[in-house]
Amino acid sequence: MAGEIVYADLNIRGDSSLTSRPQPPHHLIFQGPCSKAETGALASHLRRRLCDSPQNSSAGPPGCRLCPLNWLLHGDKCYWLSKESKTWNESRKDCSAKSSRMLVIQDQRAMEFIKTITEGKYPVWIGLHLTTSKGNWTWVDGSLLNQTGVSLSAPDTGNSCGVWKENQIRGEICSGTFKWICQREAVLI
């Protein structure tokens, strides 16, 4: 870091409520050569400042986790909800461009969180599709959908993709347009 200028945009929310309005980022500028002690002190200060925020008090593995700007932290994952609508394939490409993947629902806790952020008001694409070769519902990570307790009907076209609709997983024609959810691992600091 010697001789470099380091910029840090911090968006520290006062509470973890999804309805609260985000505060403007704090802009920090550090200029000039930094010794190892100064760099360590700065990292320690930022860790305390960020990790002690309510945003990092959510359930999940211990440690301080951060998400990119405009992403929501829940447990050890970051979630991004689109504002526009695209086809399932376009949505998948968009998540990939964001260094993430479409939502893979792995447990009841994740389902409850998705209910919260979508409020059951509109359908969103998730990372689930019907493979034509085997006729299995498969997540974008390659795992099969555990259909225990999930009633999933799909259009007869064989071109079916998963959508979170009315607080449950449903099958829709992949060429339809909906909003979508991307997910990625939170950064542990």
Q: How many CA atoms lie within 13 A of 70 on its CB side?
A: 7
If pLDDT is split at 50, 70 and 90, which confidence band does 188 have? confident
Domain ranges of the chain: 6-57, 72-188
- The answer to whether 7 and 27 are in contact (CB under 8 A) is yes
What's residue 45's pLDDT? Answer: 57
Per-residue pLDDT tens over the stretch 97-112:
999 999 998 888 888 8
**pTM score:** 0.68
pLDDT top residue among 5 and 48: 48
- The answer to whether 102 and 92 are in contact (CB under 8 A) is yes
pLDDT top residue among 37 and 94: 94
Fold (CATH) for 72-188: Mannose-Binding Protein A; Chain A (3.10.100)
Per-residue pLDDT tens over the stretch 58-94:
544 456 889 999 999 998 899 999 999 999 999 999 9
Per-residue pLDDT tens over the stretch 171-181:
899 999 999 99
The position carrying tokens 């002190």 is: 41
For the chain, give the DSSP string: -TT--EEEEE---SS--TTSPPPPPEEEEE-S---HHHHHHHHHHHHHHHHTSGGGGSSSSSS-EE--TT-EEETTEEEEE-SS-B-HHHHHHHHHHTT-EE----SHHHHHHHHHHHTTTS-EEEEEEE-TTT--EEETTSPBP--TT------TTS-EEEEEETTEEEEEETTS-BEEEEEEEPEE-
Please give the Cα distance from 4 to 182 (Å, whole number).
34
What's residue 39's pLDDT? Answer: 60
The Cα-based distances of 164 to 8, 61, 113 in angstroms read 35, 26, 12
138-142 average pLDDT score: 92
Please give the Cα distance from 127 to 75 (Å, whole number).
19
